Structure 1
Amino acid sequence: MEYVIEMLNIRKEFPGIVANNNITLQVEKGEIHALLGENGAGKSTLMNVLFGLYQPEKGEIRVKGEKVNITNPNIANDLGIGMVHQHFMLVDTFTVTENIILGSEPKKMGTVDIKSAEKEVQEISERYGLKVDPTAKISDISVGMQQRVEILKTLYRGAEILIFDEPTAVLTPQEIIELIQIMKTLINEGKSIILITHKLKEIMEVCDRVTVIRKGEGIGTVNVSETNPNELASLMVGREVSFTTEKTAASPKEPVLEIKDLNVLDSRGIKSVKGLNLEVRAGEIVGIAGVDGNGQTELIEAITGLMKSDSGQIMINGKEIQNQKPRQITRAGVGHIPQDRHKHGLVLDFPIGENMVLQTYNQEPNSKAGILNYKNIYSYAKKIIQEFDVRTPSEYTLARALSGGNQQKAIIGREVDRNPDLLIAAQPTRGLDVGAIEFIHSRLIEQRDQGKAVLLVSFELDEIMNVSDRIAVIYEGEIVAVVNPKETTEQELGLLMAGQSKKAGESSHV
């Protein structure tokens, strides 16, 4: 068998942790090969070794049968290996073309030949069905488009083997369908793909084979045609996993969050939330379903004080909170799991322990008379880390050193432990594996059962259907319908999310 990539008995250590313990991965030409594992299992580390970002302590790498020494990403590029990172490496103020050619700029008469570069980018874009405008500025295009720019960057450099690191974690359902099509086109053009993921549905749909890693150890490689999601899930986490969320019927009480006629302008001054009305009661989970970009972000930021509202009312337990400072809103009983964990959830260069008290560091027992009590802060953090199974060498480890999923679990632990009256969970399981998703859903339901109000905002329809007691559909900044998950289907929700109103005469209240 001819393999395009062979990683044989790779061992990679960091202080206090063995991230990869003698792992072997063999990729055939023209296949989509999944690398499956829990958050923190060592998937990204293994691929960073292949891409030359890390050097292994042991093992060898072969490309097309030849033993190679990949000491930096430039050597990986020269060998035809390209990597599309989970957190994009793009310069916001540059155009698409400027980002793609960065580091390998075509020159003409001593200056950068941007015109011929734009033409080449356009040609590659059309060939692979990427549909990207070469002249657009990165800050003006969607997350899905930014990912296509990352793919184009690798193709522009002549990549034959593409590594995709959790590529669908930040995409809408529609963008995921488009990405899968792009991947199939790449394979038809003779490329090979390694897909780092923990989404079993995607593996079953597009992959040929899957290699499973658990806690830094290689568990084995299986043909996708000979396996099923349940088997893959138990290989990944080492136990049976439930895909349905067990919960009793909700018994909602008084309203905790009341929003009346809310209008919010986005950063460009365009009205993105229009006369929105919504109520979330104690003891219920209300899910907000909608395609990305229909006002969800602005709604959450208006409730949490990250953005000013233009008009209307936001009340928590009967008290008006709109346009107050985030700290006042937090103290009024609001918890917030933000959709962008890096921008709004963590201070990446602080230890994970200090991140656990970002809202409470200035209160006793975390501080007294303006002096921080580090002993108390770190023992409190240790409790959350243990309770929420945050995989980290210690509570003193910098937040940026944790895997994305473990960063997410830490944020959720911090917010749930504060026991807020209203918990806003925005994309709470983005980038999490099935075991962690099961755990997070059970914690959201636990909050509900303790009489708290939960507002769940998610692009994952099965998550909305599984966890919510009521579903509010948002379209162009308005709640267009409120439905009962037991009485609707994903198809009906999809139509409502696309702006197709319910049949005349139907009530939109449950």
Structure 2
Amino acid sequence: MSKDAPQDRPSPTPSTGIDNVVEVRGVTKRFPGVVANKDIDITVRRGTIHALVGENGAGKSTLMKILYGVQKQDEGTIAIDGKVVPLNSPSDAIAAGIGMVFQHFKLADNLTVLENVVLGAEKLHGIGGKARAKIEEISATYGLGIRPGDLVEKLGVGDRQRVEILKVLYRGAKIIILDEPTAVLVPQEVDELFDNLIGLKGEGLTVIFISHKLDEVRKVADEITVIRRGTTVGTADPKQITSRQLAEMMVGSELPTPETTESTVTDKVVLDVRGLSLRELGVAPVLSDIDLTIHAGEVLGIAGVEGNGQAELVEVIMGMREPSAGHITYLGQDITDWDTRRIRESGVGFIPEDRHRHGLVLEAPLWENRMLGHQTEEPNSKGMMLSPKAAQADTVRIVEQYDVRTPSINVMASSLSGGNQQKLIVGREMSHHPKVLIAAHPTRGVDVGAQAAIWDHIRDARREGLAVLLISADLDELIGLSDTIRVILRGRLSGEFEPSKVTAEDLGAAMTGASHDEERAS
């Protein structure tokens, strides 16, 4: 597990004789008030899956942006195929055979899949029939299920991720960086992705895999590099280390679990949804006759493959969409026709699925982001006037209480790692003591330490009577936190699953419809 420990190495690729495809030596990157990377050393072997793990703010994303030419290191060198190369822009990285799929996607919502894929790469296959054929070929080869004519704004998060992977392959990348690629996938889809990655590896491609899911890292990686506080602390053989040991290397503590032992469910109904449907012209119903009830002190978990209506369910409850039929009752009052602001002011907390699109203003400081959605509430305002100083003071409290790692509350939200952005959002929402919390993927893209902290905050609030609608792609999280679990499939909710008795595989089968298929076949 040490940096100098010998590792089993495959034979060099015959075409070049060079075994090490990426060599990072002494890379350091400074920002005002913080050192993001310090003396980083990493060696990635050709035709392998190399995992990079570390807690939020450890410097993983900064390092990958340097490797992809988005940022320039202050010190150190990067060698590709044994040759030191300057990576001053993504164009340089692409020319060197490097492609990156970011955790937060770089897609234009108002363009089709084809238009997004060919944008900036028009010289490869044009913008017409040849490009379409190439996209279809790549999609079929790697089982991505992407249609060139689909409009990106109509795609779920999972499909958007697959479009990003397709973009990288379309440009001929030989080194593929994947940032949290399994965050939106169910277990069966994770297995399919890993099969694809192994196939890429078998063809001589190299994958750098960033993830917080340590069991998955150990399953798919050939080698693991651990980064802590901006520097490499060692490498590990996934066959000779446990997830618990990896967690200790990352954060100095044991791997947390979301397990909740005591029941706090009361008889008080907080949120009641009856007959909720959502239809769009020319397509099948997005939601069909949804019924659900959440009591004070209860966590109702919703499992589902991306694109089956869970995002639309959240948007309807939050007043962001108008339902076609049905009613939403909150604390005995019909709120079906309320707008989002009124719903928020009434005590409904909201952790959005996509923190960049619906949770933050990236080019605004942290203290202004603390006010979002709560501009009319204390401490952000008093009467008709905003209270910036009070909001700033409370932002300092949130940063300390929720361990948001930042040099200042005045830095832009864009400068924070994804996990620290998420902790800021969770702190903001919980600070207003909501009666019900609509939490869509609350721990997506956060490390094991931050994940445990968010679970603790939800559990503490639940004990005090908070009702939670929890939507998550992390089935262990759903099973551990929920009092009841239901599955959404093609816009319809299943019956109830008992968390103490259901397995992740059972839920995965229900999410893909396999359990229904088996019942019909029997």
TM-score scaled to structure 1, two decimals? Answer: 0.92
For residues 254-300 of structure 1, the C-alpha deviation after alignment (integer angstroms, 9 at most, x for no partner) is 11111222223358674322222211111121112223233222222
Residues 1:440 and 2:454 are matched in the alignment: yes
- Give the 3-state SS of the residue equivalent to 2:111 in structure 1: coil
Provide closer, same or farther for how the CA distance between residues 180 and 349 of structure 1 changes in structure 2, counting only shifts above 3 A: same
Report deviation, 1:146: 3.1
State how far apart, in whole Å, the 2-side matches of 1:494 and 1:230 are. 25
Aligned partners of 1:272 and 1:298 also within 8 Å: yes
State how far apart, in whole Å, the 2-side matches of 1:267 and 1:343 are. 25
> Which residue pairs with 2:96 in the alignment?
79
Aligned partners of 1:253 and 1:283 also within 8 Å: no
> Which residue pairs with 2:85 in the alignment?
68
For residues 207-256 of structure 1, the C-alpha deviation after alignment (integer angstroms, 9 at most, x for no partner) is 00000011112111111111111111111112223235243233423111
Residues 1:48 and 2:62 are matched in the alignment: no
Provide closer, same or farther for how the CA distance between residues 80 and 88 of structure 1 changes in structure 2, counting only shifts above 3 A: same
Provide closer, same or farther for how the CA distance between residues 120 and 418 of structure 1 changes in structure 2, counting only shifts above 3 A: same
Alignment of 1:54-453 (within 5 A): 54-106=71-123, 112=126, 114-266=128-280, 270-368=284-382, 370-453=384-467
Number of residue pairs matched by the alignment: 501
AA partner of residue 45 (structure 1): T
AA partner of residue 276 (structure 1): I
Aligned partners of 1:316 and 1:332 also within 8 Å: no
Aligned partners of 2:29 and 2:75 also within 8 Å: yes
AA partner of residue 267 (structure 2): K
Residues 1:494 and 2:513 are matched in the alignment: no
State how far apart, in whole Å, the 1-side matches of 2:302 and 2:512 are. 14
AA partner of residue 461 (structure 2): Q
For residues 330-368 of structure 1, the C-alpha deviation after alignment (integer angstroms, 9 at most, x for no partner) is 222211111121122112222111111223323454334
- Structure 2: give runs of 5+ residues left out of the alignment: 1-8, 10-18
State how far apart, in whole Å, the 1-side matches of 2:518 and 2:159 are. 34
State how far apart, in whole Å, the 2-side matches of 1:441 and 1:334 are. 19
AA partner of residue 418 (structure 1): H
- Give the 3-state SS of the residue equivalent to 2:270 in structure 1: strand
Match of 2:29 among 12, 24, 33: 12
For residues 11-32 of structure 1, the C-alpha deviation after alignment (integer angstroms, 9 at most, x for no partner) is 0001110000111010011110
Provide closer, same or farther for how the CA distance between residues 391 and 74 of structure 1 changes in structure 2, counting only shifts above 3 A: same
AA partner of residue 102 (structure 1): L
Report deviation, 1:147: 2.7
Aligned partners of 1:245 and 1:442 also within 8 Å: no
AA partner of residue 19 (structure 1): A
- Give the 3-state SS of the residue equivalent to 1:240 in structure 2: coil
- Give the 3-state SS of the residue equivalent to 1:74 in structure 2: helix
Comparing 282-291 and 90-99, the one that deviates more: 90-99
State how far apart, in whole Å, the 1-side matches of 2:476 and 2:91 are. 41
Provide closer, same or farther for how the CA distance between residues 361 and 331 of structure 1 changes in structure 2, counting only shifts above 3 A: closer
TM-score scaled to structure 2, two decimals? Answer: 0.90
State how far apart, in whole Å, the 2-side matches of 1:276 and 1:204 are. 39
State how far apart, in whole Å, the 1-side matches of 2:175 and 2:240 are. 25
AA partner of residue 356 (structure 2): H
State how far apart, in whole Å, the 2-side matches of 1:113 and 1:484 are. 51
Provide closer, same or farther for how the CA distance between residues 117 and 497 of structure 1 changes in structure 2, counting only shifts above 3 A: closer
- Structure 1: give runs of 5+ residues left out of the alignment: 505-510
